[in-house]
Structure 1
Amino acid sequence: MAQDRAADPRVGVGVIVIRQGMVLMGLRQGSHGSGTWALPGGHLEFGETVEACAVREVREETGLEIQHLHAGPYSNDLFEGRHYVTLFVIADAPDGEPRLMEPQKCSQWRWCRWSELPQPLFPPVDTIRTSGYAPPGAA
């Protein structure tokens, strides 16, 4: 019996980009989670490593180059009729300022303190924050 592939869980990758104790947040628009604040990231593509996805998504969305990647937490969320397992990656972006590379998907980028994230949050980000997780090196 064939399964409804649209109902299958998707794998997302969220990147906690840290600079000087701040994390990079973007205001989503035009897709699921529109009007919420999220980390850069996206869908893991077939055959892609989580790290390669993190580098690609941050570059595509912000123009920034990240380094010193390491694994963070994960979340398992049901929202807007979708099921996402989101793998978080922690990285540094020592140079440059984020640009709106995909203005149809994100209206602004902002450096924020983890303890003072803008609201409302994209559900996977809210899940890890409310779990008590705090990224190393972020205030």
Structure 2
Amino acid sequence: MTEAPRSYPARPILAASIALFRNGKVLLGERARPPGQGLFSLPGGVVELGENLEAAVRREVFEETGLEIEISAFVRHHEVIARDETGAVRRHFVVAVFAGRSEHGEPRLSEETLSFHWADPVELDGLALTDGLADILVAARKAL
């Protein structure tokens, strides 16, 4: 099966991510490539055909970080819509965001991530974040 294009897609792309907490801090990954290169975001990625959301977020987190996770709650959905200079939709993702925990091990870098940071979800240490992430973290803390 051919993977649908992520740039200028024919329809929105479904993805899943998770706010992973440990000792009051949340795991943020610095993106290694566009879009959002250099910005911090939650681990996650695209849902594969036939895969449920929780399975997708577990797989994506393991692929990106090597961590096993415990999912506590569904937080909300988040939409990412980017248009080009003509108004055409360049990207459209609908992300199912979960909250959970990862109690053991440290994340390992992958080709998708330049660095990881266990951040205070309230102060965020002046990190450059993807759009909407601060609000997502507030909701995720309440969901735990």
Task: Report the counterpart of residue 89 of structure 1 in structure 2.
Answer: 98
- The residue type paired with residue 74 of structure 1 is H
Separation (CA, whole Å) in 2 of partners of 1:91 and 1:67:
5
Task: Report the counterpart of residue 27 of structure 2 in structure 1.
Answer: 24
Question: Is residue 2:128 matched to residue 1:120?
Answer: yes
Give matches, 1:26-45, under 5 Å.
26-45=29-48
DSSP-derived class of the 1:42 partner: strand
Task: Answer yes or no: is the 8 Å Cα contact 1:77–1:124 preserved in 2.
Answer: no
Residue in structure 1 matching 2:58, options 50, 55, 58: 55
Percentage identity across aligned positions? Answer: 33
Task: Answer yes or no: is the 8 Å Cα contact 2:71–2:98 preserved in 1.
Answer: no
Separation (CA, whole Å) in 2 of partners of 1:70 and 1:93:
14
Offset at residue 35 of structure 1 (A): 1.3
Offset at residue 27 of structure 1 (A): 0.4
Q: Which moved more, 1:88-97 or 1:74-83?
A: 74-83
- The residue type paired with residue 115 of structure 2 is Q
Offset at residue 124 of structure 1 (A): 4.9
Offset at residue 7 of structure 1 (A): 3.6
Separation (CA, whole Å) in 2 of partners of 1:90 and 1:20:
14
DSSP-derived class of the 2:75 partner: strand
Task: Report the counterpart of residue 106 of structure 1 in structure 2.
Answer: 113
Separation (CA, whole Å) in 2 of partners of 1:41 and 1:9:
16
Q: Which runs of 5 or more residues in structure 2 are unaligned?
A: 84-89
Q: TM-score, normalised by structure 2?
A: 0.80
Task: Answer yes or no: is the 8 Å Cα contact 1:36–1:122 preserved in 2.
Answer: yes
Separation (CA, whole Å) in 2 of partners of 1:128 and 1:68:
16
Separation (CA, whole Å) in 2 of partners of 1:92 and 1:134:
11
Separation (CA, whole Å) in 2 of partners of 1:69 and 1:127:
18
